[in-house]
Amino acid sequence: MSFRGLKCGLALSCGLLAVSANAATLEKRADKPFADADHVVYSLARGGAGLPLKAMVNHGGVLSHPKVVFIFWGPSFNNAASPDYSYARTLQADRNQFGGTPEWAVLQPYGVFATNLGSGTPDWFDTSTPPTNVTDAVVQTEVTRYLASRAAYDSSTIYEVMIPKTSYSSSGTSTSCGGPSLAYCAYHGHYSSASGTVIYSIQPYMSCSGCKVSGWSDTLNQEHFFCHETRDAAVDPVNGWYDSTTGEEPGDKCTWSPTPFIGTGGYGYDYFWSNQNNACIRTR
C-alpha cells in the first residue's frame, strides 16, 4: 500500500506529461504514516491497515512508454560466486520481457502502453559497498552519480536502485527489511535535477517475513516488488493516478490481497486495481 504527498494522471504521446508538485495535493496525503518527505510513495509491509477499495482518479501525467534502468549497488551483484549474481540477471530478464506481458497490459486503461522496459541506457553494476543504512538522500545521490557519469537523463526512465542484504532502506525513523523499524518494503519517488524531474525507486532485499510470500525465493519476492514499484511509478510518476481519499495508487489497493502470483515467464507479480472491473485483477 502507499501514502505520499502527490499524484495522478493520464497520458497521450510519450513521456511524462506532468511533473510539478502541487501544494494542495500534498496536503491531501498528509495522512501518510512515515516521517519522510512528501515525494515518495511506500509499499507497506504486511500488517498495514486496509483501506476502502475506491476508484482511481486522474490528477495529471503518466509515463506512457517508460523504461527501467537498474542500478545494482554492491559487489555481490557482479560476483559470479554470489547468489546475487543470478538474482541480478534474473531481474534484468524479467524487466526485458515485462512490458509486453498481459500483466503489463493492465496499465493500458491508465494511459500506459506496451513497451520495451529494457530499451533505456545501460544498467550500472556499482561494485562499491553501500552504507548499511541507505537513506532517501543516499538513494538520490546514487542515481545522480549514475546520470553524471554513465548516461544522459531521460524523463521517461525509472531509475531503480537495488541494494544487497547487508543494507536496508530508511525513511525518517521507518525502515525496510533489515532495519530496526520495519514499516515498508520498497518505495518510488522523484526529485528535481538540473535536467528535469528524476523518477526513481529503492528496492531493498525482501529478507523478512513482512515482505515475503511464503515459499517464494528472494528473487521471486523481488520480482513481485519490481512489478509493483514499476507499474505504480508508471501510472503515478509525480502527480498521476491515485485515490484522492487515501492517496493509494492502483497497485497499493491490491498489495498482499489477493496474494501475489507467479505469472508470465515464471516471474512474480502482484494484482492491480481496475476501475473498469472495480476489483483487483491479474491480467487484462
Cell 494542495 sits at which residue? 24
Query: Is 11 a member of any domain?
Result: no
Query: Is 230 a member of any domain?
Result: yes
The reported pLDDT for the residue numbered 50 is 56
Handedness of CA 43, 49, 54, 58 (dihedral sign): negative
Query: Is 157 a member of any domain?
Result: yes
Query: Is 113 a member of any domain?
Result: yes
Query: Is 10 a member of any domain?
Result: no
The b/e string for 226-247 (b: 16+ C-beta within 10 A; e otherwise) is bbbbbbbbbbbbbbbbbbbebb
Residues 240, 106: Cα–Cα separation, whole Å: 16
Q: What is the pLDDT of residues 85-95, one digit of tens each?
A: 999 999 999 99
Q: What mean pLDDT is predicted for residues 140-163? A: 95
Q: What residues contact 89, with CB distance under 8 A and at least 6 apart?
A: none
Q: What is the pLDDT of residues 229-243, one digit of tens each?
A: 999 999 999 999 999
- Band (pLDDT 50/70/90 cuts) for residue 65 is very high
Name the most confidently modeled range: 16-30, 49-63, 162-176: 162-176
Query: Is 43 a member of any domain?
Result: yes
Tell me which residue range forms the domain holding 181: 23-281
What are the distances in angstroms from CA 186 to CA 120, 223, 255, 283? 22, 12, 12, 23
Q: When comparing pLDDT for 257 and 28, which is higher? A: 257
Query: Is 1 a member of any domain?
Result: no
- Predicted structure pTM score: 0.88
Q: What mean pLDDT is predicted for residues 141-168? A: 95
Cα-only R_g, the chain: 17
Query: Is 59 a member of any domain?
Result: yes
The reported pLDDT for the residue numbered 246 is 85
Structural domain count of the chain? 1
Question: Greatest CA separation found in the chain?
Answer: 51
